[in-house]
Amino acid sequence: MTAEPAKPHFSDRFLDNVYPNGTAAAAGGRRSESWKNSGTVFLKMSAASIYIPKDNPEKPRGEDAHFICTEEQTIGVADGVGGWAKAGIDGGEYARQLMINSVLALQKEPRFRVNPKRVLEEAFKNTTAQGSSTACIITLSGDKLRAVNVGDSGFMVIRNGEDVVYRSPTQQHYFNCPYQLGNKKDNPSAAVEMEVRVEAGDVIVAGTDGLMDNMHASEIVESLRRGVSEKESMRKQACYMANVALYNSFDRYADTPFSIASRKAGRCRRGGKVDDITVIIARIEDS
């Protein structure tokens, strides 16, 4: 893909690269040479994803968006804020544009030294849709994950198939109101930047709150463990995990991260949170 200036409106064809399977493939083009030839010791990250939008015939795409950019070793998730619907605005459009603009911004980054904050700033600057969105961009650079996060999407790093060695912090203004990039909302200066050392064999699970609010870390690990023991592909693992999140989201009595957070906020909403669900599973491997 060549780096084109971001346009206010994207053709459906381009959007199809991001939806329905959510994978914006940065195929071919400027960086076709193998990054194995760079002379640096590298780990590599391969990833797969699944997106289950909330059942809404009027908004079949839902409000989440994400990308997997294998060439740039970078993944991203975003969650358009649903509250905009009251004003007739589709928050999903903002999220989708933000993720497409992130993929475009990635093309301008130095090889192997993607700065996710810079990518987010550039994407934010070029996003013209109305609405707002959370965002999380994660890149592998050498043996480090570098990430930037705004709001309540996020990721965790799982080692040896059982230890959650890192979990990204979430940012909320108040219960169920995440920090969000957008018009008259937060801007990338509110973002948290993270750096996490990773090893071959580590698994990264990234997602929107549709995943994180409906599954405890222990359930995510258990879901992965089942997938690993059954030697499932990452795509199947992601599907399996998203289905558990979906099941929990419809459970009106389950003790979910959402219900626990709601209790802490004095709202006492039981059960899961019906929402769009995005899951990206990435595996760190020796290159």
Q: Which residues form the interface with Mn ion (CB under 5 A)?
A: 79, 208-210, 275
| Of residues 43 and 215, the one with the C-beta less far from Mn ion | 215
| Of residues 127 and 180, the one with the C-beta less far from Mn ion | 180
Nearest-approach distance from CB 120 to Mn ion, in angstroms: 18
Say which residues have a Cβ less than 8 Å from residue 146's Cβ, sequence separation at least 6.
114, 115, 116, 138, 139, 140, 193, 194, 195
Nearest-approach distance from CB 195 to Mn ion, in angstroms: 26
Encode 80-92: b = buried (16+ Cβ within 10 Å), e = exposed. bbbebbeeebbbb
Nearest-approach distance from CB 177 to Mn ion, in angstroms: 12
Nearest-approach distance from CB 18 to Mn ion, in angstroms: 17
| Of residues 53 and 210, the one with the C-beta less far from Mn ion | 210
The phi, psi pair for 91, rounded to 5°, reads: -60, -25
Say which residues have a Cβ less than 8 Å from residue 231's Cβ, sequence separation at least 6.
none
Nearest-approach distance from CB 260 to Mn ion, in angstroms: 17
| Of residues 72 and 275, the one with the C-beta less far from Mn ion | 275
| Of residues 122 and 275, the one with the C-beta less far from Mn ion | 275
Nearest Cα neighbor of 129 from 14, 11, 15, 8 is 8
Nearest-approach distance from CB 130 to Mn ion, in angstroms: 18
- Residue 190 one-letter amino acid: A
| Of residues 101 and 153, the one with the C-beta less far from Mn ion | 153
Q: Which residues, listed in sequence order, are joined to residue 157 by a DSSP beta bridge? A: 166, 204
| Of residues 47 and 81, the one with the C-beta less far from Mn ion | 81
Q: Are 100 and 74 in contact (CB under 8 A)?
A: no
| Of residues 50 and 114, the one with the C-beta less far from Mn ion | 50
Nearest-approach distance from CB 274 to Mn ion, in angstroms: 10
Nearest-approach distance from CB 153 to Mn ion, in angstroms: 8
Q: Which residues, listed in sequence order, are joined to residue 193 by a DSSP beta bridge? A: 148
Angle at 50 between CA 99 and CA 237, to 5 degrees: 135
Work out the burial of residue 232: count CB atoms within 10 Å of its CB; fewer than 13 is exposed, 13-18 middle, 19 or more buried.
middle
Q: Which tokens in the block code for residue 79?
A: 């969650």
Q: Is the peptide bond before 20 cis (omega within 30 degrees of 0)?
A: yes
Question: β-pairing, 192-197 with 203-207?
Answer: unpaired
